[in-house]
Amino acid sequence: MDIHVLNTCNFRWIALPVPKQNDPKSSCVPYHRYGHTAVAYGSNIFVWGGRNDEAACNVLLCFDTSKLL
């Protein structure tokens, strides 16, 4: 799933690199979904739920905007 970050100084989007499949971080990358909820709290964005055309998701994900992780 592509993750883009907006630089609020120059108003340009950058795409974060996608981890390779053999990278341990690849298991943390969320799959495409719709119907989810996203909440910003401090420097984190929390994403809960949603579904794709195959299954529903009940996983809480956290994206740290200060570390871009």
Buried b / exposed e over 46-69, threshold 16 CB at 10 Å, is ebeebeeeeeebeeebebeeeeee
- Beta strand extents in 10-52 (DSSP E only): 12-15, 37-41, 44-48
Q: 59 and 65 in contact (C-beta within 8 Å)?
A: no
Residue 19, phi then psi, degrees to nearest 5: -65, 145
From first to last of the 69 residues of the chain, give the pLDDT tens digit.
677 888 889 999 988 877 677 776 666 667 778 889 999 999 999 999 888 888 888 888 888 888 877
Considering the entire predicted model, what is its pTM? Answer: 0.66
